Amino acid sequence: MISQYSGISPKGDLILLHKLGEKLNNRSFLHINSTRAGGGVAEILHRMIPILKDLGIDARWEVIEGDERFFDITKKIHNSLQGNFERITEDMWQHHYEVNRRNAERLDLDADAVLIHDPQPAPLIEFRKSGRWMWRCHIDMSNPVKEVSDYLIRYCSRYDAAIFSVAKFTRAMGIDEFIIPPSIDPISEKNRELTDEEIKETLNKFQIPTDRPIILQVSRFDRFKDPIGVIKAYRLVKKYNDCILILAGSPATDDPEGEIVLKEVQDYASDDPDIHILLLPPFSDKDINALQRAATVVLQKSLKEGFGLTVSEGMWKGKPVIGGATGGIPLQIIHGVTGFLVHSVEGAAFRIRQFLNNPEMASRMGEKGREYVRNNFLITRQIRDYLSVWYVIENKGRSVLEL
């Protein structure tokens, strides 16, 4: 399977991956998160586990189970870590712990390396049996509610290492911390090349007209993704450029607010026939791929963002991308080179019009964006980084360059 990336991923990444695979051969690597569908974490793990196995590593992926109250609490924790104040009582923290305790009894936590993703399963460290444990934070912790981050750090500080997507998300935990941005898989159903027929099939399915430019945002229906702001920007553009807006997203099983936000967006869009709101079922990867390839401009107008993989997805397809200047988006968009960063509705509208009125510039930025993703945000690089962290903490800081 790893051979399929030859000629796509940078050669150096593939060489180092093979060397790390030899060093960690037959060792066990366990990933744990809170959902198998919806969101970038699950998407990456679906692609990553088979590649790890192909490298000779005994990779497993477990998902914690919780009741409605648990996911309501963890959504509040998530929002607080991203700077929105939510009241989280001691009783709520206790329920968070108790659900993890029950999961610890159910799951096999025995592995040489364990990577725990995000706050939902963070308390599992209390039930550690063996191996090196790493906590992976995928969310924007640059300005958290202090009491919430302090409480969570009680768990995180017991890990061997913490991994963040962006340097400014790190916290003082008293353990080793590493920066590893997420990635996309270039040969997955969501990112592979599509024929014109395949693209047309998706557009026909959702009754999307092709006679005008298409503005697209793919994301969960979450207020931090600012779908209302996207509609406002589209309405400003529409005064001058006739165009279509598509807001497409899949539900995440660990996000109880999704339905509420979707209803808000539908109400705000009113009866505009040129606004297409698509609630896609999980694993609609080919349709998302087709929509991104059909788009004239790709948006990710987030107000807070752990990383924003849809930015790299759009860039990989050679599209001009506009993103909110927040979280991990500025890691991907070099302003004025691989796309534009914006701070407001008006700024987004201005940049959309710039792309619509200057197709040559849009094409040039799209090409540069694709190469930037190739060199920095493909899944082979992320696996290389995870295995490197495991190797380093196990070998007391010895560099992977000595392999």
* Predicted pLDDT of residue 401: 61
Identify the structural domains of the chain with CATH numbers, from first to last: 2-183+378-402 (3.40.50.2000), 196-376 (3.40.50.2000)
Residue 101 has pLDDT above 80, yes or no: yes
Predicted confidence (pLDDT) per residue in 364-377, tens digit: 999 999 999 999 99
pLDDT digits (tens, 9 = 90+) for 73-83: 999 999 999 89
323: its two tokens: 């993103």
Cβ–Cβ under 8 Å, residues 249 and 279: yes
Q: Which residue has the higher pLDDT, 259 or 364?
A: 364
Does residue 387 carry a pLDDT above 90? yes
28 C-beta neighbours (distance < 10 Å), count: 17
Residue 363 has pLDDT above 90, yes or no: yes
User: Which of 144-148, 240-244, 255-259, 352-356 shows the lowest mean pLDDT across its residues?
Assistant: 255-259
3-state secondary structure of 192: coil
How would residue 10 be classed by pLDDT, with cut points 50, 70 and 90? very high
Output 173 or 400, whichever has higher pLDDT: 173
Query: What integer pLDDT is reported at residue 259 of this predicted model?
Result: 87
Confidence at 208, pLDDT banded by 50, 70, 90 = very high
Which of 96 and 167 is assigned the larger pLDDT?
A: 96
| Beta bridge pairs of residue 277 | 247
Q: What is the pLDDT of residue 397?
A: 63
Mean per-residue pLDDT, 307-335: 96
- Local confidence band at 355 (pLDDT 50, 70, 90 cut-offs): very high
Q: Does residue 400 have a pLDDT over 70?
A: no
pLDDT at 111: 96
Residues 6+ apart with CB under 8 A from 267: none
- For residue 25, which of 62, 64, 53 has the smallest C-alpha distance? 53
Residue 302 has pLDDT above 80, yes or no: yes
Is the pLDDT at 230 greater than 90? The verdict is yes
**Residue 77 pLDDT:** 95
Question: Measured in whole angstroms, how far is the alpha carbon of residue 30 from the centre of its chain?
Answer: 20
Contact 148/81 with Cβ under 8 angstroms?
yes
d(CA 230, CA 350): 12
- Percent residues over pLDDT 90 in the chain: 84
- Smallest CA-to-CA distance from 248 within 270, 293, 278 is with 278
Element housing 348 (H / E) = helix 345-357
Q: What is the mean pLDDT of residues 4-23?
A: 94
Which sign, positive or negative, has the C-alpha torsion 233, 239, 241, 247? positive
**pLDDT per residue as tens digits for the range 35-59:** 987 778 888 999 999 999 999 999 9
Residue 168 is predicted with a pLDDT of 87
Q: Are 381 and 183 contacting, i.e. CB atoms less than 8 angstroms apart?
A: yes
